[in-house]
DNA sequence: CCCAGGTGATTGAGGGTTCAACGACACTCT
DNA sequence: AGAGTGTCGTTGAACCCTCAATCACCTGGG
């Protein structure tokens, strides 16, 4: 891993800001969202992923990939959502090992009910503080970073 | 919370990228950093905060504020670091309720040993994927967002 | 057919983090 | 001085999340 030059004058504040955001943003979102809707942000993400899938149906493993959660985590979350009637779990007909999660009517209703609250939280915590110009200039950079992080998991440098 | 317009065409990708980053970045950092240095990222943050403080000494509550951790969390982390000899805890002379955390020699040495690894992780997960221009344009936007999040905790909209 | 190895999902155990309750102490007002 | 109130830090209980082990099933080669 050897020699690396320290962060320079542009990089250091960039890094600090990024750290602050990664710790503070989830909190800012969740704190009001859960009491308002009865959904954790994780739950909401799962419901959104299902609502965007064809037939509102997704393999458990696909759900894990699109939400960015681990397989074990998704398993428990889906269990919980099933117990609450927002999601249904069906053995996959073509592959006996696999299961599909399906959004129920109640789940869709719950998602739609939560949407305004989610939107309000997102605006209050992020977009209310940024101009249209900010978003246009920073958006592509963030997108590039997000893509790199998605691709990067392989442990090593390149 | 009423009416809100949905995210527009610039905002939606911005938001998705932000979500990906907040979930993937901490993982990308921690996964290699901990095995390489024996320090969790939380530990590292605490040591950094202490190293930047006058006399390498900070009130427990100040430490919580600067690291963004909760008081209860910082209490346990400092306990743990104390047990490992990297930090020392002293009752505060002026205020019998308070405690100060002080960086030990071993703590400083450990921090310095971990720094190159930290730097390498930061570069590999973030700056290697962005141009100098990216950082110059997105940096101020992120800084503004971070500042807003730090200030915003008050529950309501304004 | 059946065995070996691979994959999808679940589960137990354990660490990380937070919330709420608490004990110790400080400050103010009378 | 004493009562009431607020603040600093700690702790028990609970939750979220992950790792590793495991079960059930699929797939390909003798």
Q: pLDDT tens-digit profile of A5-45?
A: 778 888 999 999 999 999 999 998 998 899 889 999 999 99
- CB B72 within 7 Å, strand C: yes
Q: How far is CA B141 from CA A1, A17, A70, B21, B131, in A?
A: 31, 9, 31, 15, 16
Residues of B in contact with A118 (CB under 8 A): none
- CB A75 within 7 Å, strand C: yes
**Residue A51 or residue B9, greater confidence:** A51
Q: How far is CA B82 from CA B50, B54, B79, B85, B152, in A?
A: 13, 19, 5, 5, 33
User: Measured between alpha carbons, how far is B13 from A31 in angstroms, rounded to an integer?
Assistant: 23
Three-state SS across chain B?
CCCCCCCCCCHHHHHHHHHHHHHHHHHHHHHHHHHHHCCCHHHHHHHHHHHHCHHHEEEHHHHHHHHCCCHHHHHHHHHHHHHCCCEEEEECCCCCCCEEEEECHHHHHHHHHHHHHHHHHHHHHCHHHCCHHHHHHHHHHHHHHHHHHHHCCCCCCC
- 90-119 on A, CB < 7 Å from strand C: 92, 95, 97-100
* B112: CB partners within 8 A, 6+ apart: none
User: Measured between alpha carbons, how far is A49 from A47 in angstroms, rounded to an integer?
Assistant: 5
Q: Is B52 on the interface with A (CB under 8 A)?
A: no
Sign of the C-alpha dihedral computed for residues B122, B123, B127 and B129 taken in this order: negative
pLDDT band at B3 (very low <50, low <70, confident <90, very high): low
Q: pLDDT tens-digit profile of B119-129?
A: 999 999 999 99
User: Measured between alpha carbons, how far is B23 from B104 in angstroms, rounded to an integer?
Assistant: 33
Q: pLDDT tens-digit profile of B96-149?
A: 899 999 999 999 999 999 999 999 999 999 999 999 999 999 999 999 999 998
Q: Which of B18, B68, B125 sits opposite A142 (nearest CB)?
A: B18
């Amino acid at each position: 891993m050897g020699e690396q030059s320290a962060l320079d004058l542009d990089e250091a504040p960039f890094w600090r800001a990024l750290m602050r955001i990664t710790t503070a943003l989830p909190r800012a979102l969740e704190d009001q969202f859960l009491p308002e809707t009865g959904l954790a942000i994780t739950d909401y993400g799962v419901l959104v992923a299902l609502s965007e899938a064809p037939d509102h149906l997704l393999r458990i493993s696909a759900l894990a990939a699109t939400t960015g959660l681990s397989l074990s985590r998704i398993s428990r979350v889906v269990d919980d959502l099933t117990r609450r009637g927002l999601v249904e779990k069906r053995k996959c007909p073509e592959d006996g090992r696999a299961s599909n999660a399906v959004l129920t009517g109640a789940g869709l209703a719950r998602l739609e009910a939560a949407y305004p609250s989610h939107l309000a939280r997102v605006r209050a915590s992020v977009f209310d503080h940024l101009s249209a110009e900010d978003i246009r200039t920073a958006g592509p950079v963030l997108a590039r970073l997000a893509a790199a992080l998605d691709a990067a998991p392989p442990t090593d440098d390149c």
